[in-house]
Amino acid sequence: MLGNRLILFKYLLKQFGFDDFDKLRAKFSDTELKADTSDSSFFYISIAGTNIHIPLFAVKSYDENIIRHLAVINRHRNPTIHLKYYQYFSLLFTEYFLARYFTDRQALTDDLNRFKGEFYQQAGIRGREVADDYSADNLNLLAFWNATGSGKTFLLHFNILQYSHYCKDYNHLILLTPSEQLSKQHLEELELSGIEADYYRGNKTGSHVKVIDIFKIRERQGPETVSVDEFEQKNGLFVDEGHKGNDKEEGVWRGIREKLGCKGFTFEYSATFGQIGNQDLKNEYSRSIIFDYSYRHFYRDGYGKDYWIHTISDNRSIETEELRHNYLLHNLLLFTQQKLFYLVNPEIVEEYQIENPLLIFVGHTVNPKATAQAEKEDNEQTISDVKLLIRFFADFLRNGKKYLST
């Protein structure tokens, strides 16, 4: 299991005085870094009283940097954002790593390899699960394992500011996304954070962030694509969805990412590192994941969603219109309950930034089976499930009174 082999994450927990992530959570899970913090944060004050292995003046400078970056990101935001404990420590660990990477890289490499040997021995890890040693050639990758919805976009913005602070010698800042639509979303968010960025269309000049989706970059220039060589090397590269589940897609992503990040530095973000099957990739990410806030941690902190699956025991009974309508009515009532809560509790909605509830129906078929179309049938076995849903809503709106006693 990848979550039990995260060398860099475990090393940084130890450096800041925590035996494991649960100890950190127990101490800070109810703490936030507020947008109006101007001096040392509560996190720093608390850490200063623990058995850390880092000089306090260094930790204070990391804390001040995070507070300063938060002020930049919140300058044009309303409402402003606060940092949850896991976001703060993701950034604090990044501060420590980047500070050492750009000042005493060899010492950091030696420390990590020493810890790696001790960690493997204690955990009994051997054979193919043993990752290569850290070196100057593989130390320039940090990966953030963040559950969907945990705020990795904000981390990415902070990382851009952090990298720009510590590294003064790079060619380009590049944000690589999985799609054109996500590129547009990132541009909107970057604007809110006060970070200059634009969609890449050959505009190589300037220190702004160049946003481009992965499928627009290829080995060779094309009518709708640019050559990966156009960006040169020594870039600050930020990769949204650093891991793809499909092996073929993974190979394409990695080849481009490695070329763009060569001699520079790469930050990767994904919720799906745990789905990696390739052992070599697992080993690489076990070495480079700097913070693990995957779904299991996300859920334990109360941010995940509870769900249940309502199974009808008699498979034939769902074919009856009465039971099917009861089933869909149950779903509609639950949605109505959420909608009413949203409408009558504006203060809670604003405080917790709750979005307007949305009901989504995922259908299995849009069109009836081919045999039904050929025979122009319209029976319960062949009609599309999307059409069944529409038929239910039509009946509900026309004959609502009959549902009152359901």
Q: How many CB atoms lie within 10 A of CB 148?
A: 11
Alpha carbons 238 and 222: distance in angstroms, whole number: 24
H/E element, 289? strand 289-293
Identify whether residues 34 and 140 lie together within a single domain.
yes
Q: Is the pLDDT of residue 370 over 60?
A: no
- Domain assignment present for residue 262? The answer is yes
Whole-angstrom Cα distance, residue 300 to residue 293? 10
Q: 126 with 275: CB under 8 angstroms? A: no
Considering the domain boundaries, does residue 305 fall inside one?
Answer: no
The CA distance from 97 to 131, in Å, is 19
Q: 194: helix, coil or strand? A: coil
SS3 388: helix
Integer-rounded Cα radius of gyration of the chain: 25
Task: Give tens-digit pLDDT for 118-162.
Answer: 999 998 888 888 889 999 889 999 999 999 999 999 999 999 999
One domain, residues 156 and 242: yes
Band (41; pLDDT cuts 50, 70, 90): very high
294 and 343 both lie in a single domain: no
Per-residue pLDDT averaged across 166-188, rounded?
92
pLDDT of residue 69: 97
Least confident of 361-365, 375-379, 385-389: 375-379
User: Residue 20 falls within a domain, yes or no?
Assistant: yes
What share of the chain has pLDDT > 90, as a percent? 52
In a domain, 213, yes or no: yes
pLDDT score, position 311: 61
| CA torsion through residues 30, 32, 38, 43, sign | positive
Residue 156 forms part of a structural domain:
yes
Same structural domain for residues 68 and 184?
A: yes
Asked whether residue 146 falls in the same domain as residue 211, the answer is yes
The answer to whether residues 266 and 353 belong to one domain is: no
Residue 39's pLDDT band (boundaries 50, 70, 90)? confident
Residue whose structure tokens are 């009808």: 312
Largest CA distance in the chain: 80
User: Measuring CA to CA, which residue among 246, 252, 256, 255 is closest to residue 278?
Assistant: 246
Number of H helices, E strands in the chain: 15, 11
| Structural domains of the chain, count | 2
Q: Cα(first)–Cα(last) distance of the chain, in Å? A: 48
Which residue among 255, 275, 300 closes a domain?
300
Measured at the CA of 146, the angle between CA 301 and CA 115, to 5 degrees, comes to 95
Considering the domain architecture, whether residues 327 and 240 belong to the same structural domain is answered as: no
What is the model's pLDDT at position 250? 65
- pLDDT tier at 245, thresholds 50, 70, 90: very low
3-state secondary structure 121-184: HHHCCCHHHCCCCCCCCCCCEEEEEECCCCCHHHHHHHHHHHHHHHCCCCCCEEEEECCHHHHH
> Taking residues 241-252, what's their average pLDDT?
62
For the record, the structure tokens of 1 come out as: 């299991």
Would you say residue 310 lies in a domain? Answer: no
Q: How far apart are CA 262 and CA 382, in angstroms?
A: 55
Distances (CA, A) of 215 to 153, 180, 246, 341: 20, 9, 15, 42
Answer yes or no: is 362 within a domain: yes
Question: pLDDT for 386-404, tens place per residue?
Answer: 788 888 889 888 888 877 7
- What integer is the mean pLDDT of 74-79? 91
Q: 69 with 187, same domain?
A: yes
Question: What single-letter DSSP state applies at residue 319?
Answer: G
Does residue 158 share a domain with residue 125? yes
* φ, ψ at 209 (rounded to 5°): -80, 130
Q: Are residues 132 and 13 in the same domain?
A: yes
What's the rounded mean pLDDT across residues 14-31?
A: 94
User: Among 244, 272, 300, which residue terminates a domain?
Assistant: 300
**Whole-prediction pTM:** 0.82
- pLDDT tens, position by position, 215-237: 888 777 777 788 888 887 889 99
Angle at 187 between CA 182 and CA 188, to 5 degrees: 100
Question: Tens of pLDDT along 183-197?
Answer: 999 999 999 999 999
Pair 338, 296 in one domain? no
- Tell me if 307 is assigned to some domain: no
The reported pLDDT for the residue numbered 164 is 96
Beta-sheet pairing, 236-240 with 289-293: unpaired
Q: d(Cα 38, Cα 158) in Å, to the nearest integer?
A: 17
Q: Are residues 271 and 356 in the same domain?
A: no
- CATH code for the domain of 33: 3.40.50.300
In total, the chain counts a number of residues equal to: 406
- The last residue of a domain, from among 271, 300, 329: 300
- Domain containing residue 223: 2-300
Question: Omega of the bond prior to 79 within 30 degrees of 0, cis?
Answer: yes
Q: Indicate the residue type of 38.
A: S
| Tokens 């203060």, located at residue | 347
